[in-house]
Amino acid sequence: MSYSYLESSSYGKDNVKFLKVVKNPKNNKDHEIMECNVQVLLKGEIETSFTEADNKVVVPTDTVKNTILVLAKKNKTETMEKFAALLALHFTNKYSHITGVHVKIVQQLWNKYHEHSFIHGGAETKEIELDYDQAKPTEYKLVTILKGLTVLKSTNSMFHGFNVCEYTTLKPTDDRVLSTDVLMKLEFDPAKLGSLETVVTGSKDELFIELFKNCRDTTLTIFKNENSASVQATMFNMATKILQDNEVAKFVTYELPNKHYILFNLEWFDGEKNDNELYYPSSDPNGLIKCTVGRN
Ligand SMILES: O=c1[nH]c(=O)c2[nH]c(=O)[nH]c2[nH]1
């Protein structure tokens, strides 16, 4: 009997980056662009490559990289949800011993300001994660992620009524600065979205585009409108609204750092009052609040 066994394994290519330019056939100068960073990890009957140095079962990671690029060139890639589904179905259909795929795609945001000129959207990205197992094709996990959207409001945020004990120094407040880097994840319900084959046909592209826009708009609208009782309460309200608006959503997750801004005390300067006007950014430590919300 050998000492160890392989509990789980996967392999593939990470950081496969491309910029795709889609030209309007009527006007060769009117372009749309998509810049992506793709990870594809393969699963299946690959154990012996780890345990017996059997490379017969290995589709080289170099082949995985080539495949990502060729499929990106040959197919319409309006949405990364569709491209992820295409990749998952390709690898599992092409290689009989590859039965599962994990795809992660990070998409840069480029805002078009002229027919073929764009402004980069900064740290904000859209991400897709897809886990697909050929044995359970209707149980795939497809997640759309909004990441790196940094927001701040300078009033309409409170925090009081919290637990107080001998370790507490925080003072309750009904007016503070609230700031966070939004990380929102929306997991689709496969029963409502349909099979990955239908995703690949492109019939869901409009839905994916509208859904992402709705998630971003709802996050920003509730952030600005609500007199926030806490990060916890506000993120729950955001997730609930997204579930209400998007039938295809199964779970909405938020992970929000509470990026503290602390009032300077200027009393020492001749009793100078600081009426929530001058703060110092306190980058760490930061609060970190997470929740996943489902529907009843
Ligand atoms: O919205 C908040 N939630 C907390 O859990 C918390 N904890 C804290 O110190 N400040 C805040 N703010």
Q: Could you state, in order of their start, the residue ranges of all structural domains in the chain? A: 1-135, 149-296
Q: Which CATH superfamily is domain 149-296 in?
A: Urate Oxidase; (3.10.270.10)
Does position 286 have pLDDT exceeding 90, yes or no?
yes
- Is 295 known as a binding-site position? no
pLDDT at 249 over 90: yes
Q: Is 287 in the pocket of ligand 1 (CB under 6 A)?
A: yes
pLDDT above 90 for 1? no
Q: What is the distance between the alpha carbons of residues 203 and 61, in angstroms, rounded to a whole number?
A: 31
* Ligand 1 near 195 CB (within 6 A): no
Q: pLDDT confidence of 28, banded at 50, 70, 90? A: confident
- Residue 49 pairs with which residues in a beta bridge? none
User: Is 159 a pocket residue for ligand 1 (Cβ < 6 Å)?
Assistant: yes
* Ligand 1 atom with minimal separation from the 231 CA: 1
Does ligand 1 have an atom closer than 6 angstroms to the CB of 232? yes
User: What one-character DSSP code corresponds to residue 157?
Assistant: B
User: Which of 3.30.365.10, 3.40.440.10, 3.30.1490.190, 3.10.270.10 would CATH assign to domain 1-135?
Assistant: 3.10.270.10
Which residue shows structure tokens 């750092």? 257
Residue 7's SS3 state is: coil
Q: Catalytic residue at 147?
A: no
User: Residue 92 catalytic?
Assistant: no
Distance from Cα 230 to the centre of ligand 1, integer Å: 6
- The alpha carbon dihedral of 84, 85, 88, 91 has a sign of negative
User: Annotated binding residue at 258?
Assistant: yes
Q: Report the candidate in 109, 87, 86 with the shortest Cα–Cα distance to residue 32.
A: 109
pTM: 0.96
1-135 matches 149-296 in fold = yes
The better pLDDT of the pair 1, 9 is held by 9
* Residue 77 designated active-site: no
Asked if 153 and 176 touch (Cβ cutoff 8 Å), the reply is: no
The string of pLDDT tens digits covering residues 189-234 is 999 999 999 999 989 999 999 999 999 999 999 999 999 999 999 9
* Chain centre to alpha carbon of residue 18: 19
Give the pLDDT of residue 244.
Answer: 98
